[in-house]
Amino acid sequence: MDEPSKEQVPLNKREDFTLCLSCGFPNHNSVARCMYCNTNLTKSTGLFSWFRQTFLILKWRWELKKERSKDENPLLLFSKKLGYLILGMGFSGLGCYLFIDSISKNSFSTAIISILLLLYGFFTLKNLFSGK
């Protein structure tokens, strides 16, 4: 008998999938054993199984995202990072300019806007260099 296919299937919000409680692979409701790890699929209820199933969904989505990021074009990845760098530097620079301007004109509302722009620029740059 042929070995079942072990390719990853994205989990949609449809109810015709059951997650394996061992590996988290989404299986059709009609199958009795997991197509990925061959574990017996039994339905369990309760809070613990809900937490475990939620964890497995998040783990499975993270692995799908990791696989997708491997396949990205290096030129596209570079252009995304360059765009975020320009965006972060632009917001930070505009925030600095508006903050200095608000101090000279004693404008509280401009100071608040400038601080928000500085924070947005800072967190954009932080996320860019932290690898997220």
- How far does Cα 35 stand from its chain's mean position? 26
For residue 106, the enclosing domain spans 74-130
Report pTM.
0.47
Q: What is the pLDDT of residues 43-75, one digit of tens each?
A: 666 777 778 778 877 887 777 777 666 666 788
Any domain includes 97: yes
The distance in angstroms from the start CA to the end CA of the chain is 43
Q: For residues 88 and 126, what is the distance between their CA atoms, to the nearest angstrom?
A: 9
Do residue 97 and residue 117 come from a single domain?
yes
- Do 79 and 125 belong to one domain? yes
Do residues 81 and 117 both lie within one domain? Answer: yes
Q: How far apart are CA 86 and CA 130, in angstroms?
A: 16
How many structural domains are present in the chain? 2
**For residues 59 and 20, what is the distance between their CA atoms, to the nearest angstrom?**
12
Tell me which of 70, 88, 104 is where a domain ends.
Answer: 70
The more confidently predicted of residues 53 and 96 is 96
- Please answer whether residues 112 and 131 qualify as being in contact, where contact means their C-beta atoms are separated by less than 8 angstroms: no
Mean pLDDT in residue range 85-89: 94
Tens of pLDDT, residue by residue over 9-37, are: 445 555 677 777 777 778 887 887 888 88
Q: Which of 114, 120, 116 is nearest to 84 (CA)?
A: 120
Point out which residues pair with 26 in neighbouring strands: 19
SS3 state of residue 9:
coil
Q: What is the dihedral of CA 117, 120, 121, 125, to 10 degrees?
A: 170
Q: Is residue 1 part of a domain?
A: no
Is residue 66 located within the same domain as residue 32?
A: yes
